[in-house]
Structure 1
Amino acid sequence: MVDKSFKIMLNKTFTSFTITDFLDDADFLRYIKYNAPADVAFWDKWQAEAPANLEIFHAAKLQLHLILSDRRTEVQASFKDSLLKDINFSVNKFQSNQRKKVVRLIWTSGIAASMLLIAFVAWFSQSIITVKAEFAQNKLVHLPDGSEVQLNANSVLTYPRAFNWKARREVHLTGEGYFKVKHINVNPEQIEKGELFVAITKAAHVQVLGTEFNLKERHNRTNIALVKGKVRVTALKTGANYMMKPGDLINLGEDGKEVTDGNQLGNQTAWITGKIIVNQTSVNDILKEFEDLYGYKVVLDNPALGNKKIDGAISIKTEESLLFTLKNILNVNIKKEGNTIYLKNRH
């Protein structure tokens, strides 16, 4: 019986791949990183058939080895020639002749070529991509491995530019995000190190394979709500480990210890549909959520109103919809002054 992943590999047109295509291909990356016997057998057979782009295959293989290794690697003449072709092909026709002369001059020196390539690899492997959702903005992030993260307002996600080539898939989150992590493991019984996906906040590591979960870190509290799959959460301050199954919630307080606040799974993920669900939630907590999402400071004319408990679903699609709800529930008037909103008792 042929493994599903190899059926997919057999259907790919590797014979027409460019260097970029090889470096973006998950099957090729897995072959170079892990050298699993099945992968080695496939690619040995493919090379034995002498495809027209075999030289490009070897150039891509060398590039990836350079990225994954800290050691200096000798650059072969065939690789330099292949890279020169790629550069020449991409230059503007108007400047082509002049640029070709410059490029040829650079690559005539093996030392210069090695230094340039190593400098590029160092930059590529160390640089970080930062995606920010501003106040009152949600943003969908497509990660290089096919995973998705829906960022809530006032949230930041960072990940390495060489995401697919690192020892593990790793992202850092400040704020709140809903994760849909893609499975990349070939053998579900044996998970390789590079197949793990880890979401990191200041307080916790969330280690997954392929799943959906909500992760939120605000005001020194971290909340994890698992929708699908299986994750392991490590509290960084206490070292405690939690294995989660669908429907589970974990709330880590400022001291890193697990706390219980009675929130249900639907409450944690309702923001994706533009609302928050509150169950005996204080007005102060609702206002804090408003401040996090829209960047205002809210001042209650009567502080006692902050302790009032509210139940129900409240729209957060716009700041006006949330303020309208609070205005009527609390029987207050609203006044804006710059980035401050005052809720004043009606007389």
Structure 2
Amino acid sequence: MDYLNYAKEYLMNTYNHLPVVFTHGEGCKLFDTDNKEYLDFTSGIGVMSLGYGNKNWIKAVEAQLEKVVHTSNIFLNIPVLELAKKFTEISNMTKVFFCNSGAEANEGAIKLARKYSFDKHGKARNTILTLKKSFHGRTITTLKAGGQEKLHKYFYPFTEGFKYAEANVEELEKSIDSSICAIMIEPIQGEGGINPLSEEFVHKVFGIAEKEDILVICDEIQCGIGRTGKIYGFNNYGVCPDIISTAKGLGGGLPIGAVLCNEKLNNTFEYGDHGSTFGGNPVCAAGALEVLNIISENSFLEEVSEKGKFVKEYFKSKNKKNILEVRGMGLMIGIEIEGEASRVQKKALQKGLLVLTAGPNVVRLLPPLIISKEELEAGLNTLYEIIEEE
């Protein structure tokens, strides 16, 4: 069957698909319709945190499939209750709302922040301050929340109530006024180029927020759930936000997102303020619980950190003609290059290596967290060769 033509004929033109169709995966490898093997440095954009075919995850999901697949949220189910307990405890938060994706999680976080501020400070305090180069989703509201002008086109009118600042202390201070109810940050900007925020800047955000009763929302959609070698990206800075949004790696491949809050916001949402038909799905919750059981072990997170150091050390030891910078934390790595990242991505695909991009000249690496150092080195050898040939 000519599956690539199926895509052209039946799918909307939302993705510029690479010319490959995958049929199955194992560990950190994917296989296409010709059974060609690919080493995966993408994990479905950070989703397949445990790789492909994890036995414990499959067992947990299959067991729940045989019990109950879905109920309305006017009823409770055991997996979501167990997940809520585990998730709030390891996050140092007090309550959680489950949804289906990162964009939905950010929508929920924005609503929660505005409701808190409305209740305490009145209607006029409703602006969310986000950062330039940020990305928070593709709904109308989360597109506007993202601090990239290229996102703010076609779909007018956009949701109001957002303001943008560069990720430096001086501009942050200039941007604070009486309308700001929350500051929303990605500790490491993902789609914006794999840009870790500076420690000075993050601590300034939290200092201003505490002084002015402004909420801090940490968007952990991409950098959370063990990706940086900590449960969350913000854990690398020694801070704790009021609201956390997360998704991607949480489900281990199944769609799930979450909004977590601290005690200050425990009772902000009242019955009917928010909801999600599929949020808290018992099958997705069962998978997510298994992910958390595995990645929350200290030894697992330490290994992720070590693998991240291994990647950086690899490039430090090389002569770099076309590599300008290697940045990131844990297994969230951006390689800024001379040349087009998309060309590198296509050449890597031909050689059996899957990588991502984050802007025109950044190659993005988000391998499964379980990847071995041997697999990392093999993929890095291929990638280095391609970049230096450009």
Q: Same fold (TM over 0.5)?
A: no
Larger Rg: 1
**Bigger strand fraction:** 1
Provide the TM-score with structure 2 as the length reference. Answer: 0.23
Structure with higher RCO (Cα < 8 A, 6+ apart) = 2
The two structures have a TM-score, normalised by structure 1, of 0.25
